[in-house]
Amino acid sequence: MRKNIVAGNWKMNTTVPEGVALAKEVNEALKANKANCDVVICVPFTHLCPVAAEIDQTVLGLGAENCADHKSGAYTGEVSAPMVASTGAKYVILGHSERRQYYGETSETLREKVALALENGLKPIFCIGEVLEERENGTYNDVVRRQVEEGLFNLSAEDFGKIILAYEPVWAIGTGKTATADQAEDMHAFIRGVIAEKYGKEVADNTSILYGGSCKPSNAAELFAKPDVDGGLIGGASLKCADFMGIVSAF
Ligand code: PGA
188-235 pLDDT, tens per residue?
999 999 999 999 999 999 999 999 999 999 999 999 999 999 999 999
What mean pLDDT comes out for the span 15-38?
A: 98
Nearest to 217 by CA among 238, 247, 242: 247
Ligand 1 pocket test, candidate residues 214, 219, 240, 247, most atoms within 8 A of CB? 214
User: What 3-state DSSP class applies to 105?
Assistant: coil
Q: What is the pTM of this model?
A: 0.98
Is it the case that residue 137 has pLDDT exceeding 90?
Answer: yes
User: What 3-state DSSP class applies to 34?
Assistant: coil
What pLDDT sits at residue 158?
Answer: 98
Residue whose CA is at the smallest distance from ligand 1 atom 3: 235
DSSP state of 210: E
What pLDDT sits at residue 161?
Answer: 98
What pLDDT sits at residue 175?
Answer: 87
User: Beta strand pairing status for 91-94 and 231-234?
Assistant: unpaired
Q: What is the mean pLDDT of the chain?
A: 97
Q: Is 28 exposed, middle or buried (0-12, 13-18, 19+ CB in 10 A)?
A: middle
Expressed in angstroms, the distance from the first to the final Cα of the chain is 16
Chain centroid, CA 26 distance in Å: 18
DSSP state of 182: H
What pLDDT sits at residue 177?
Answer: 82
52-70 pLDDT, tens per residue?
999 999 999 999 999 999 9
User: What 3-state DSSP class applies to 106?
Assistant: coil
Whole-number Å distance, alpha carbon 149 to ligand 1 midpoint, is 23
What mean pLDDT comes out for the span 98-105?
A: 97
Cβ 8 under 6 angstroms from ligand 1: no
Is it the case that residue 14 has pLDDT exceeding 90?
Answer: yes
Cβ 174 under 6 angstroms from ligand 1: yes
Determine the Cα–Cα distance for residues 173 and 234; give it in Å rounded to an integer: 9
Ligand 1 atom, smallest distance to 166 CA: 9
Q: How confident is the model at residue 118 (pLDDT cuts 50, 70, 90)?
A: very high
Ligand 1 pocket test, candidate residues 97, 165, 219, 233, most atoms within 8 A of CB? 233
What mean pLDDT comes out for the span 90-97?
A: 98
DSSP string, 136-151: HTT-HHHHHHHHHHHH
Percent of the chain residues past pLDDT 90, beyond the cut: 97
DSSP string, 58-73: TTSEEEES---SSSSS
Just list the catalytic residues: 96, 168
Whole-number Å distance, alpha carbon 190 to ligand 1 midpoint, is 21
Is it the case that residue 1 has pLDDT exceeding 90?
Answer: no
149-178 pLDDT, tens per residue?
999 999 999 999 999 999 999 999 988 888
Ligand 1 pocket test, candidate residues 94, 101, 173, most atoms within 8 A of CB? 173
Question: Cα-flanking dihedrals φ and ψ of residue 234, to 5°?
Answer: -115, 120
What pLDDT sits at residue 250?
Answer: 98
Q: Are 89 and 121 in contact (CB under 8 A)?
A: no
What pLDDT sits at residue 174?
Answer: 86
